[in-house]
């Protein structure tokens, strides 16, 4: 890892070159005044070269060469590619800005946590709603309010709905794992900090990739979640509503991901500087992986 004391700003490299990297990670890193965007590595060198040129940085063909130049890495890779590479980056001494889901196996997620712990590096997982200012503020307000009785979450994407032309539809892992794994982390990243740890879970399949979850929380509250990437466009939308002694509270709308990603960069820098883990770190993402794995198993068990 580069010596942070020798750098005016922490150096951060980007691992990945897909649509999410090009639309969110790279623009946020290039515009962030608190970091130096050190370079891009990808599994397709030509894509890395193109993205690096568009972002004003350099491409690396050798992953280890980029890791040696960086204080931190931002990972924009499919989850089961992300996990071993993130562990490798941690062992190289790089702090980790990770995507959700961290992995689609508990063993893969645990490898990242163990590597980060052993290396003493900080980690932040980019669950958008935890960093978009509108929703992050709302989550903290509802956690402080307390007294919630039930919560209802619905995240219906139309990635695979009729007429979809989303570039993310070509993602093999999303096609295989569906809304449970793609949008499920977003919903859980809100429900857990507000209602508490999940103490019991059941799940059932709906149409196509749709999953219905029923959760019991340590606070005594219960929640339901409906997750899909295959809804008709007319039915698409996301909503989380809480009901309790304070009345009813609905998750507010938020504006895009680039600004939220910049706040995730800030959170990683703070965790690295202070040694205080961020609430949405690799260990939290491991817990999400455990819950999603349990939901998947329960939904497919006769």
pLDDT score at 182: 98
Predicted TM-score of the model (pTM): 0.95
Q: How many CB atoms lie within 10 A of CB 171?
A: 17
Ordered alpha helix ranges (H), the chain = 19-20, 26-31, 45-55, 63-69, 79-91, 106-119, 133-145, 172-182, 184-195, 258-274, 282-300
Condensed to tens digits (0 to 9), the pLDDT of residues 90-129 reads 999 999 999 999 999 999 999 999 999 999 999 999 999 9
Q: What's the rounded mean pLDDT across residues 158-173? A: 88
**Is residue 9 reached through a cis peptide bond, with omega within 30 degrees of 0 on the bond before it?**
no
pLDDT of 1 strictly over 50: no
Q: What is the rounded average pLDDT for all residues in the chain?
A: 96
pLDDT score at 7: 52
pLDDT of 271 strictly over 80: yes
C-alpha–C-alpha distance, residues 132 and 293, integer Å = 26
Query: To the nearest 10°, the Cα dihedral for 275, 278, 283, 289?
Result: -160
- The confidence band for 167, taking pLDDT boundaries of 50, 70 and 90, is confident
**Angstrom distances, CA of residue 122 to CA of 102, 160, 237, 263:** 15, 35, 33, 15
């Amino acid at each position: 890892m580069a010596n942070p004391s020798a750098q005016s700003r922490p150096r951060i490299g980007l691992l990945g070159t897909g649509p999410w990297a090009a639309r969110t990670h790279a623009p946020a890193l290039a515009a962030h005044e608190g970091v130096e965007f050190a370079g891009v590595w990808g599994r397709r060198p030509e894509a890395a070269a193109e993205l690096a040129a568009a972002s004003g940085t350099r491409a690396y063909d050798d992953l280890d060469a980029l890791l040696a130049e960086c204080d931190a890495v931002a990972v924009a890779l499919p989850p089961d590619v992300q996990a071993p590479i993130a562990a490798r980056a941690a062992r190289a001494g790089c702090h980790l800005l990770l995507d959700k889901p961290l992995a689609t196996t508990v063993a893969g997620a645990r490898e990242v946590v163990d590597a980060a712990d052993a290396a003493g590096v900080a980690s932040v997982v980019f669950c958008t709603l935890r960093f978009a200012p509108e929703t992050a503020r709302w989550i903290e307000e509802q956690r402080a309010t307390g007294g919630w009785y039930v919560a209802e979450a619905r995240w219906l994407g139309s990635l695979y709905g009729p007429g979809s032309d989303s570039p993310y539809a070509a993602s093999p892992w999303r096609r295989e794992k569906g809304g449970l794994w793609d949008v499920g982390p977003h919903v859980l990243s809100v429900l857990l900090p507000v209602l508490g740890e999940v103490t019991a879970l059941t799940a059932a399949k709906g149409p196509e990739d749709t999953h219905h979850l029923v959760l019991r929380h340590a606070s005594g509250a219960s929640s339901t979640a409906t997750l899909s990437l295959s809804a008709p466009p007319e039915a698409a939308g996301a909503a989380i509503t809480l009901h309790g002694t304070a009345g009813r509270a609905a998750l507010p709308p938020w504006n895009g991901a680039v600004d939220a990603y910049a706040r995730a960069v800030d959170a990683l820098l703070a965790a690295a500087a202070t040694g205080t883990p961020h609430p949405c770190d690799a260990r939290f993402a491991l817990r999400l992986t455990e819950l999603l794995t349990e939901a998947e198993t329960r939904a497919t068990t006769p």
